[in-house]
Structure 1
Amino acid sequence: MPITSVTKDPEALTMTVTADFAVPVQRLWDAFADPRELERFWGPPTYPATFTRHDMVVGGRSQYLMRGPDGDSPAGFWEFLAVDAPRSFEVIDGFAQPDGSANPDMPRMRMTFEFSETPEGSRLVNTTWFGSAEELEQLIGMGMEEGMREAMGQMDAVLADLEAFAAGRGAVSQILSDTQVRVSRVIRGTVEQVWRAHHEPELLKRWMLGPDGWTMPVATAAENVGDAYRFEWAPVPGGPADGAPPFGFEGELLESNPPHREVTSERMIGMEGPGTTNELTLTPREDGTTLLTVVITYPSAEFRDMVLATGMTDGMEASYARLESELVGV
């Protein structure tokens, strides 16, 4: 059990959890920065978490849902107040409503996570500040301390699993809910390089091609919130896709926080009906690579399954492999 102490101070309205781990500070930090890792321990074993958003920058936000054994699904959020990688971060931690907004009937807390080196590895000190003695008593009574102990108890196994989160594994898709899918890929390139590659038309035309046999004659990127974008593909004559009809996607830039996150709408050109919402998040890693995640929200589970059955993830992996080739040459 990594937790070495839990201290509650009714006068200061705090609870402090200290835990030691036999890994370097950076490895511990990465487990919190990567939503694929974080959701494997943030929550007791009986209430596993799924993170539908996790942009770990000042002003960023995380949103997660826990699924209980009886079908209940409490939700929570973090609002990032400070981030000093890999030493500390500070958040407002709160309960969320089904749409991800703060639950006004439940308390919000301020939490700090501080990481430091020890002779054996690293130490995490997590301090929670409560708004009142009543809130402290309420949340402790709801099982906050026990939940924290159980959650931290899962971290050793996550930290030991390096292979599952390393570069070179290719794009992996994960169904988050009836309407959401997350595609993750570690890209050999910096966050700034990967962001630029998503916004420079000539770069886009070289890597965002999907399977072999396609060209991208039109790549109009959106620069500012409210701008439209348009991407079109055509088969290479005599190539493996020869004879296939050209196609394209268009949409609007809904949110942008360069170089870490953007949200776009997307619909196939010429297709009626609702499209998808795509949330791109870029997270820097210790070795200079970038964790790229795209959370795609579909209008229905049927539409989600139809798109996944087209080989979407394989096509995205082919594009990301080209992107890496472009960046390695930079």
Structure 2
Amino acid sequence: MNISTHTDSVALSMTTTAEFTASAERAWQLVSDPRQLERWWGPPEWPATFVRFDFEPDGRAHYYMQGPDGERLHGWWKFISIAAPTQVLIEDGFADDQGEPSGDLGVTTARLTFEPTDSGTRLTIFSQFQSLEQLEEMIEMGMEEGMRLAVGQIEGILSTTTSESKEN
């Protein structure tokens, strides 16, 4: 699987792109099913758990990522728009333990797009930041590498789920 990331400090954005061998409809399940989403949304050492997932426009999600030492970082999403099976637009931010926005580091807007390719699907995650300071702080926290590691888990999920589906 080929994964690339590009940060643009002028456009205040980070783009992560990956291609994998699955249909766009199958790949869509990676964001529409919280159990599949939590298998890749965090890096391997900081897996995500979604405790709320209202997958509809204006719906909310609450998740946390748990580190190897047990520390939990909570986050929230607001689903702005959903165009199955090709695109979802979310607002994303840090949350308190109850999933309410904490205001820490502001809000990021992310657009996840699934495009068919000759060999499968291309996932593009375009993250837009509110300020250069926010972008720099997120990079310092490891977001760029974290996204590469997180997205790097997708092909394994798709192959496992595909083989599990064939067995049933």
> TM-score if structure 2 supplies the norm length?
0.94
- In structure 2, the partner of 1:76 is 75
- In structure 2, the partner of 1:54 is 53
- In structure 1, the partner of 2:33 is 34
Q: Deviations over 1:121-143 (max 9, x none)?
A: 01011100000011100100100
**CA shift for structure 1 position 107:** 1.9
- In structure 1, the partner of 2:96 is 97
Runs of 4+ in 1 over 4 A off after TM superposition: 163-166
- In structure 1, the partner of 2:154 is 155
Worse-superposed segment, 84-93 or 50-59: 50-59
Q: Deviations over 1:249-296 (max 9, x none)?
A: xxxxxxxxxxxxxxxxxxxxxxxxxxxxxxxxxxxxxxxxxxxxxxxx
SS at 2:105 equivalent: coil
Higher relative contact order (CA 8 A, sep 6+): 2
SS at 1:65 equivalent: strand
For the structure 1 residues 19 and 93, does the alpha-carbon distance in structure 2 shift closer, same or farther, using more than 3 Å as the test?
Answer: same
Rounded to whole Å, the distance in 1 between the matches of 2:78 and 2:164 is 25
* Conservation of the 8 A alpha-carbon contact between 2:93 and 2:104: no
Q: Deviations over 1:142-192 (max 9, x none)?
A: 0000100110111111111226875xx7xxxxxxxxxxxxxxxxxxxxxxx
- In structure 2, the partner of 1:107 is 106
| Residue identity opposite 2:95 in structure 1 | A
* Conservation of the 8 A alpha-carbon contact between 1:2 and 1:156: no
SS at 2:113 equivalent: strand
* Conservation of the 8 A alpha-carbon contact between 1:2 and 1:152: no
Worse-superposed segment, 140-149 or 46-55: 46-55
- In structure 1, the partner of 2:64 is 65
Rounded to whole Å, the distance in 2 between the matches of 1:16 and 1:90 is 14
For the structure 1 residues 32 and 164, does the alpha-carbon distance in structure 2 shift closer, same or farther, using more than 3 Å as the test?
Answer: farther
* Conservation of the 8 A alpha-carbon contact between 2:93 and 2:103: no
Rounded to whole Å, the distance in 2 between the matches of 1:77 and 1:8 is 23
**CA shift for structure 1 position 108:** 1.1
**CA shift for structure 1 position 55:** 1.9
Rounded to whole Å, the distance in 1 between the matches of 2:16 and 2:49 is 23
* Conservation of the 8 A alpha-carbon contact between 1:47 and 1:69: yes
Aligned length: 168
SS at 2:5 equivalent: strand
Which consecutive residues of structure 1, in runs of 5 or more, have no partner in the other structure? 170-330
Rounded to whole Å, the distance in 2 between the matches of 1:165 and 1:74 is 31
Q: How much identity, in percent, do the aligned residues show? A: 43
**CA shift for structure 1 position 87:** 0.8
SS at 1:162 equivalent: helix
SS at 2:72 equivalent: coil
Rounded to whole Å, the distance in 1 between the matches of 2:115 and 2:22 is 11
Which consecutive residues of structure 2, in runs of 5 or more, have no partner in the other structure? none
Rounded to whole Å, the distance in 2 between the matches of 1:41 and 1:147 is 11
**CA shift for structure 1 position 2:** 3.7
